[in-house]
Chain A
Amino acid sequence: MTTHELLNSQNHAQLRLLPRRGAEPHFVQIVPSEFVAAAIACPILFSKDPGTGAFYAGVALGLKPGEAALETKEDRGGFEPLSLQRDGFFISGDCIAIDRGNARFSEVEGEPLFDSAQQPSTALRRMQRVLKQLHEGIEQTAALVRDLKELKLIEPIDIALSFDDGERLTLEGLYTVSRDALRDLADVDVLRLFRSGHLQLAYTVAGSLNQLSVLAHLRNRKLAAAR
């Protein structure tokens, strides 16, 4: 059950934090500051918020809902998306809110959130940084998407994959950065994109697409092992 509470040292002095639990989602939102680390192992794709239609960036950890191919941090080359790290924590105005119902909160085990002087512990300070980075990342994503859209660099990508067991998967509603459109950019746009840092991000997204075949290969190997 979800029960949101504003985090404070009076009510939550005894609260402790366990590592995140539960299955990895197959698609996780990320922000531009994570792109380079993510691209080591995961395909970065854009998708649309079903409520507003706005683009957001994410990584595919698997190819099918409920089925993550890159299950552990090691599988992902050490990459742990911020939005997984912050599991259970939310920003509420200027404060931090927590989902008290999340299984990672405990009063008996884990790292404390507050020290004996009722000051934020190392674990909580780490979480504050994660939330701040995510918060700033939303605005950075919007700026990146604005640029990519204006230069017509975002293109839809239909991914159809066939597996050794005969299953065919089609992934819809995903977008990437067009390499052709990047190549055709006018010099003045290239310079502007480079200066804003968006050129590197654009190439990182385009290049990370290769990880899709790695994901597919991993899935095939798991299928073979399960037989």
Chain B
Amino acid sequence: MVHAVRRIVIVGGGTAGWLTAGVIAARHRSRIPSSFSVTLVESPNTPIIGVGEGTWPTLRTTLSRIGVSETELFRKCDAAFKQGAWFARWTTGAANDGYYHPLMLPQSFSHINLVPHWLARNDGSSFCDAVCPQGKICDDGLAPKTIATAEYEAVANYAYHLDAGKFAPFLQQHCCEKLGVRHVLADVRRVHLNDSGDIRSLETEQAGEIEGDLFVDCTGFKALLIGETLGVPFVDCSDVLFCDTALAVQVPYETEASPIATHTISTAQSAGWIWDIGLPTRRGVGHVFSSRHISVDDAERELRGYIGAAAKDLSVRKIPIRTGHRQIFWKRNCVAIGLSAGFLEPLESSAIVLIEMSAKLVAEQMPVCREVMDVIAARFNNTTEYRWGRIIDFLKLHYALTQRDDSAFWRDNRLPETIPERLQHLMLLWRYQSPWYHDEFDRIEEVFPAASYQYVLYGMGFRTELEPQMVEGSANNAQRAMRENIAHTEKLRAGLPRHRDLIRKIVQHGLQPV
């Protein structure tokens, strides 16, 4: 007789735990509670780390599928719109050095690659502005939609900045009240294995023994199940990505009417970079750096220097970072999602998107019985390892392309032995051919599409050699696409409201469901 998989037990109640619970419960809703259960066990004492307040546009689809209202997200999680990231001083370090990585695809992206045409023009315009309106929208501080745009729909593609400390309780309420997730507040004292080595049950301090068929480890850096119990080793990646410490601080706005940036601002420092994320209530600012290249005191000095006078009475929280991931993510009947699976610096807000993708994969491929679980696990491991690899490559690209020579941190980042081989090959390829569409990133669900590589490469002054003849054939189409982009840009700039004004309206009136 087969051993059916019916009882899903998630351990840990941060963003990872509740998002996973929501995604799985929503997907299997028709089976709950008669033949399927989702239980989330959470310690009443462990604080939530709340990594990263930046997200990807995928979160809109995820939240809409879970069935939460976008209006409520704005009301309860201090959410703001995020339309991309501005990278300052990453290329040369000069005061006017900066580029956007927006969330909209380049104009007509599925029909034509505009990179060669933009390179051939060589007219000093930024790549982002030549192919997409979003840089200008961010410059103007405009929202990506209007109060008449339905929930989760966009005029310009967007994600969110949100208060992670409020996001988890928000999801919890929805999961428990609407999706039938069972919430158990208890400390796990011991993990029991059965004879084959699978996890059989959790022995808890307050709620007795909890049995399950599939366990999801969302216990954060502790990695209680995947690491401590099942012994899956951690693969350290600090030889590629050097940052190992973060200093975080919350900065109040000058006035209630101060504009809210509608993009993440990432400003390179001497041995790391500073994130600056605008929520309606405050800015979240933090310095991520390599303690091998700068002392914590100096790093704090750079952080306070960035914030200016407002930093005077603010206390700084220090967070150690362990860059890397598990060797495998699903072992036996346990899958790790969130920080237990690994962590990378929040340069491209990859943490929450990876949680969403992992949870979706588990929910969609949910093994029917234990007998097929190893097949699904192998597939999950293969896909997830690929994703971590591509994120690491993409983050490293930001460092590998720098021309900065002002500190060992930037010089070390360019050393070939610190650049993954696959990325080295791609960078060689891109000297002669620009990335486009499905040339290289051909999985159905890539974390970063080819467009993201285009924005970073050509934002950072990378040059692809071109034969002039190569662009002639499609020159008319390219001209039309760029003209359309100019018209689209003007239309959006004229029609979109100011970021803070729209958030205020959403909180007051709400967005319509359709």
A-side interface residues toward B, CB under 8 Å? 48-55, 149, 152, 154-156, 173, 175
* Identity of the chain A residue whose Cβ is nearest the Cβ of B149 in the assembled complex: A53
| Interface SS of chain B | loop
Interface residue B309 (Cβ < 8 Å from any Cβ of A): no
Would you call A175 and B505 a contact (CB within 8 A)? no
Most chain B beta-carbon contacts within 10 A, residue among A48, A49, A152, A155: A48
B148 neighbours in A (Cβ, 8 Å): 48-50, 53, 173
Interface residue B514 (Cβ < 8 Å from any Cβ of A): yes
Tell me the bound Cα distance from A152 to B511 in angstroms.
15
Most chain B beta-carbon contacts within 10 A, residue among A49, A52, A149, A155: A52
* Identity of the chain A residue whose Cβ is nearest the Cβ of B71 in the assembled complex: A53
Q: How large is the interface on B (under 10, 10 to 19, 20 to 34, 35 or more residues)?
A: 10 to 19
Q: How many A-B residue pairs have CB under 8 A?
A: 33
Would you call A53 and B514 a contact (CB within 8 A)? no
Chain B positions 463-514 with a Cβ under 8 Å from a chain A Cβ? 505, 509-514
Q: Check A175/B146 contact, CB under 8 A, given A52-B505, A52-B509, A54-B509.
A: no
Interface residue B147 (Cβ < 8 Å from any Cβ of A): yes
B-side interface residues toward A, CB under 8 Å? 146-150, 505, 509-514
* Identity of the chain A residue whose Cβ is nearest the Cβ of B153 in the assembled complex: A156
B513 neighbours in A (Cβ, 8 Å): 149, 152
A149 neighbours in B (Cβ, 8 Å): 512-514
Tell me the bound Cα distance from A155 to B147 in angstroms.
17
Would you call B514 and A155 a contact (CB within 8 A)? yes
Tell me the bound Cα distance from A180 to B505 in angstroms.
32
User: Other CB < 8 Å A-B pairs besides A48-B148, A52-B147, A152-B513, 12 of them?
Assistant: A50-B146, A51-B147, A52-B505, A53-B148, A53-B149, A53-B505, A53-B509, A54-B509, A54-B512, A154-B514, A156-B514, A173-B148
Q: How far is the CB of B504 from chain A (nearest CB, A)?
A: 12
Tell me the bound Cα distance from A51 to B146 in angstroms.
9
Q: How far is the CB of A38 from chain B (nearest CB, A)?
A: 22
* Identity of the chain A residue whose Cβ is nearest the Cβ of B512 in the assembled complex: A53
A156 neighbours in B (Cβ, 8 Å): 150, 514
* Identity of the chain B residue whose Cβ is nearest the Cβ of A178 in the assembled complex: B514
Tell me the bound Cα distance from A155 to B150 in angstroms.
11
Would you call A175 and B514 a contact (CB within 8 A)? yes
* Identity of the chain B residue whose Cβ is nearest the Cβ of A156 in the assembled complex: B514
* Identity of the chain B residue whose Cβ is nearest the Cβ of A54 in the assembled complex: B509
Q: How far is the CB of A21 from chain B (nearest CB, A)?
A: 31
Tell me the bound Cα distance from A50 to B510 in angstroms.
13
